[in-house]
Amino acid sequence: MTTIDLLTVIYGTVIGISLGLTGGGGSIFAVPLLIYGLHSGVREAVGISLAAVGATALFGALMQLRPGQMEAKTAILFALAGTAGAPLGTWLGARVSDVVILTGFAAMMLAIGIRMWRQKSDSPVSAASGNRRNLCERKDDGSLIPGTRCIIALVTSGFLVGVLSGLFGVGGGFLIVPVLVLVSGMDIHRAVASSLLVISLICVSGVVSFIWQGGTIPPLLSLLFIGGGLLGMFTGSRLRKQFSPQTLRRIFAASMWGVGLFILTQNAMTAEGEKADPVVLKKEEIPDYVRDTGKSAASALGMSLKTMLSATMKEFGPVEAIKVCNHAAGPAAEAVTKQFKGGAEVRRTALRVRNPSNAPDKIDTFILHQFEKNFESGQDLPEQLVTRLEDGTYRHYQPLITQKVCLTCHGGKEAMSDPLRTALAELYPDDKATGFQPGSLRGVIRVDIKSKPDN
Ligand code: HEC
């Protein structure tokens, strides 16, 4: 067994314990554990998590069947309504920004956490019936009286939880326990057990639609994860019986707070990251002097390189031209920058660079992807994109399209002559700028325009 296998089992166990202990809790940790702990891809993680959480929850639900701990009818009704709501959530999720969704989700978790923490009860059954806000009534033995109001409340809340699950991915699982407690007046032990059934049903539909949409679930990793999950579920369910409803609710409330705060910090960090995403100015927002300076500086560099390249290529061939390029490309950019007397700073960059010192920064990368997107969707590339940096500097980008002449040095490696390949390998051991197709985006000329020129 490798370390990774062992880790997979351990992570699975953690999920299983928290599922056994709190019902929905496990699902929300599964995806982050898979992504950050085992370096799964996001899509893959969602698939594995659905399968593993579903299988673990089902196992847990079956374990509860014997002691009669669970309210299967309530759970199934709730799950059906939830399954119906999930697609609406997925649909909504594609239309609202992540930050808004997650902040709402975290706020809700914190609020529910407080309510669960404060809720008082001594005996499980009376706790439920003593709660004015419960929409369902219960007999003295604690069994549910399925009145119309109760059924409507269950279906509506199940549907809403489904919508939220679809919206947040698997995170909605965490809501099932509190909603079952608060709406149906179920005691927490039963709610945890019932939520396991709800979760496994929702996961089954999730796995089916995941595979339906072309997703694949790696078998070995999933099996190990599920194995750990079953182990954890066994332990978690045992542990749960050691705790009073009060303690259990508080553990639950505390983990709601933990997850809520975790999401808020993650969110703040993403929001910070998003702030760094540059805003591309609309055409009418670009000041004339920026457009003019950008264009003329970019074409000055373009011309100077082109003249140099074609002259050397013709005279001495591509191997020499590469050497000239190596010596002269940097100085050519500096010369143009000097020509603009500090009003404009010019350089070339690309997503795949030949010279590492031409590597793009975060903003360059964003803009280059923007150009690529245009290109892939078959639109004409814009002549320029302009963005504004935090210090007020304008940044002007002009796309460079791969032409036939560029292919000698930027085309497929197999088409190059041996001396050319050797020269490239010597000068640029890290060369990533080969294999371009004619007509594709090779890179950009970037011009930083600091200040309005005095006139
Ligand atoms: C004679 C070979 C040769 C030809 C032809 C050539 N290039 Fe290059 N190109 C180079 C070399 C060498 C570098 C690295 C220059 C340096 O060290 O800064 C480079 C760098 C670049 C860069 C800067 C980013 C990077 O990868 O480091 C861009 C953008 C670029 N070339 C675009 C083009 C385009 C567009 C064409 C065609 C119009 C072209 N090149 C034709 C050799 C060539």
Residues 6+ apart with CB under 8 A from 107: 260
Give the residue ranges of DSSP H helices in 119-146: 124-129
Same domain? For 9 and 142 the reply is: yes
Q: Is residue 421 part of a domain?
A: yes
The pLDDT value recorded for residue 219 is 83
Q: Is 324 in the pocket of ligand 1 (CB under 6 A)?
A: no
Among candidate residues 259, 275, 291, the one where a domain is terminated: 275
Distance CA 453, CA 340 (A): 9
For residues 340 and 337, give the distance between their C-alpha atoms in angstroms, rounded to a whole number.
5
* Ligand 1 center to 451 CA (angstroms): 29
Residue 246 lies in a domain: yes
Q: Output phi, psi for 262, to 5 deg.
A: -60, -45
Q: Are residues 185 and 86 in the same domain?
A: yes
Q: pLDDT tens, 393-430?
A: 999 999 999 999 899 999 998 889 999 999 999 999 98
d(Cα 202, Cα 89) in Å, to the nearest integer?
Answer: 13
Question: Which residue of 367, 406, 424, 431 sits with most ligand 1 atoms within 8 Å of its CB, as the best mutation to test the pocket?
Answer: 406
Sequence-separated contacts (24+) of 147-153 with Cβ below 8 Å:
150/184, 151/77, 153/183, 153/184
pLDDT, residue 173, reads 63
Please name every residue paired with 382 in a beta bridge, in sequence order, or none if there are none. none
Same domain? For 257 and 401 the reply is no
For ligand 1, the distance from its centroid to the CA atom of residue 403, given in whole angstroms, is: 11
Does 433 sit in the ligand 1 pocket, CB within 6 Å?
yes
Looking at the structure, do residues 262 and 311 belong to the same domain, yes or no?
no
Q: Are residues 139 and 225 in the same domain?
A: yes
| HSE value, Cβ hemisphere, 13 Å, CA-based, for 408 | 14
Of 109, 111, 150, the residue nearest 129 (C-alpha):
150
Centre of ligand 1 from the C-alpha of residue 327, in Å: 12
| Confidence at residue 130, expressed as pLDDT on a 0 to 100 scale | 46
| Closest to 399 measured CA to CA, from 437, 440, 435 | 440
Position 455 in a domain: no
Which atom of ligand 1 is the closest one to the Cα of 349?
A: 24
Identify whether 315 is part of a domain: yes
**Do 10 and 157 belong together in one domain?**
yes
Cβ–ligand 1 distance for 443 under 6 Å, the answer: yes
pLDDT in tens, 252-296: 788 878 878 887 887 777 666 555 568 888 888 899 999 999 999
Residue 204 lies in a domain: yes
Q: Check if 406 has its Cβ closer than 6 Å to any atom of ligand 1.
A: yes
Query: Do 211 and 331 belong to one domain?
Result: no
31's CB contacts (< 8 A; 6+ apart) are 42, 45, 46, 49, 169, 170
Same domain, 296 and 262: no
CB-ligand 1 contact for 309 (6 Å cutoff): yes
Residue at which a domain ends, from 225, 253, 275:
275
Cα 419 to ligand 1 centroid, rounded to whole Å: 17
Q: Is 314 exposed, middle or buried (0-12, 13-18, 19+ CB in 10 A)?
A: exposed
Is ligand 1 within 6 A of the CB of residue 355?
yes
Tens-binned pLDDT, residue by residue, of the chain (455 aa)? 677 788 888 888 888 888 787 776 566 667 767 766 777 666 677 778 778 888 888 888 888 776 667 788 888 888 888 888 877 877 776 677 667 777 777 887 788 788 878 876 543 443 444 444 567 777 766 677 777 888 888 899 888 888 877 776 555 567 788 888 878 777 777 888 888 888 888 778 778 777 776 777 788 888 888 888 888 888 888 888 888 878 887 887 888 788 788 878 877 776 665 555 688 888 888 999 999 999 999 999 999 999 999 899 999 999 999 999 999 999 999 999 999 887 899 999 999 999 999 999 989 998 998 888 887 777 788 889 999 887 889 999 999 999 998 999 999 988 899 999 999 999 999 899 999 988 889 999 999 998 665 55
Q: Tell me the residue ranges of DSSP E strands in 308-343.
A: none
pLDDT of residue 169: 58
Assess whether 324 and 251 both reside in one domain.
no
8 lies in some domain: yes
> Are 169 and 91 within one domain?
yes
Domain count, the chain: 2
Find the 342 Cα to ligand 1 centroid distance in Å.
25
Query: Do 316 and 237 share a domain, yes or no?
Result: no
Are 289 and 271 contained in the same domain?
no
Of the residues 228, 251, 275, which one is the last residue of a structural domain? 275
Is 358 a pocket residue for ligand 1 (Cβ < 6 Å)? yes
Q: Is 307 in the pocket of ligand 1 (CB under 6 A)?
A: no
Say if 454 falls within a structural domain: no
Query: Measured from the CB, is residue 50 less than 6 Å from ligand 1?
Result: no
Domain extent, residue 46, equals 3-275
Ligand 1 pocket check for 347: Cβ under 6 Å: no
Residue 95 lies in a domain: yes
CA 409 – ligand 1 centroid, Å:
7
Distance from the alpha carbon of residue 305 to the mean position of ligand 1, in angstroms = 9
Q: Is the C-beta atom of 407 inside 6 A of ligand 1?
A: no
